[in-house]
């Protein structure tokens, strides 16, 4: 286990909802950190690295018909950027912060149509039915969850994902020294406890059966489009700023 910030980390994830509420209205994806601003000029550039990867991995996102949950959706950035790049899924978002959920609708552009369906979480738990979703995304969420509470998250993800469904866990890579520097100096991440892909893989497999693989992302500054091919070539190298653990639940 790698610590992403000084201190012992959060005592209770569910107790952090008020803290996230405080950040909701002004949340800008960590660009209050000057080092991160040097790498990209907007939060959407960082989110787009993940959405491009998802669109390649899940081509059916372009054709419609998938039920997609963004677990711990925050202000809805991942769903919004996906929709803005042509995804036609039935999006649902959930979060422990009611303030963040209110921001989803405020920030959702009218040309994209109706905003996603939204629901509050009670800690790890969601109000959704067993096997409700074809695809579940979890983007930069787990490092906010206290270590002792992570098994409940993994169990909930497995519960709401249908047989044959796909789960994608995006996280900051603690093996990248620049990531550790930024996280330790970003206010909303002051209680973060980073985790590497091995912990994610073990946590998922302790909760359900999956076929797993891992890619590494964001080797190059997201704002430099001409360097994007480098990221795809280096996806095997465990030094990218982000990683994604892809899990397919057997049918």
Domain locations along the chain:
14-248
Rounded Cα distance between 201 and 15, Å, is 26
Please report the beta strands in the chain, taking only residues with DSSP state E, as ranges in sequence order: 67-71, 90-95, 117-120, 133-139, 161-172, 211-217, 242-248
Fold of 14-248: Rossmann fold (3.40.50)
Residue-level pLDDT at 25: 58
User: What would the pLDDT profile of 70-119 be if each residue is shown by its tens digit?
Assistant: 999 999 999 999 999 999 999 999 999 999 999 999 999 999 999 999 99
Rounded Cα distance between 24 and 30, Å, is 12
Tokens linked to 19: 């803290």
- Neighbour-count burial of 8, counting CB atoms closer than 10 A to its CB (0-12 exposed, 13-18 middle, 19+ buried): exposed
Please say whether the beta carbons of 145 and 15 come within 8 A. no
DSSP 217: E
Average of per-residue pLDDT across 197-214: 97
Nearest Cα neighbor of 140 from 197, 72, 220 is 72
| Residue 10 confidence (pLDDT) above 50 | no
Average of per-residue pLDDT across 118-131: 97
């Amino acid at each position: 286990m790698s610590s992403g910030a000084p201190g012992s980390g959060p005592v209770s994830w569910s107790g952090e909802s008020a803290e996230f509420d405080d950040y909701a209205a002004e949340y800008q994806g960590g660009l209050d950190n000057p080092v991160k601003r040097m790498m990209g000029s907007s939060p959407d550039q960082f989110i787009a690295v993940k959405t491009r990867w998802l669109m390649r991995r899940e081509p059916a996102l372009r054709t419609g018909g998938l039920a997609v949950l963004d677990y711990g959706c925050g202000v809805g950035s991942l769903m919004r950027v996906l929709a803005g790049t042509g995804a036609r899924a039935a999006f649902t978002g959930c979060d422990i912060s009611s303030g963040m959920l209110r921001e989803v609708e405020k920030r959702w552009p009218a040309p994209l149509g109706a905003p996603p369906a939204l629901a509050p979480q009670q800690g790890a738990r969601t109000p959704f039915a067993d096997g409700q979703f074809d695809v579940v995304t979890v983007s930069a969420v787990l490092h906010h969850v206290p270590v002792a509470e992570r098994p409940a998250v993994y169990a909930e993800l497995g519960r709401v994902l249908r047989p044959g469904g796909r789960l994608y866990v995006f996280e900051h890579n603690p093996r990248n020294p620049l990531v550790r520097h930024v996280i330790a100096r970003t206010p909303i991440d002051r209680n973060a406890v980073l985790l590497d892909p091995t912990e994610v893989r073990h946590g998922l497999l302790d909760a359900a059966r999956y076929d797993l693989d891992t890619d590494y992302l964001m080797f190059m500054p997201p704002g430099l489009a001409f360097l994007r091919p480098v990221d795809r070539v280096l996806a095997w190298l465990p030094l990218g700023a982000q990683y994604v653990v892809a899990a397919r639940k057997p049918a």
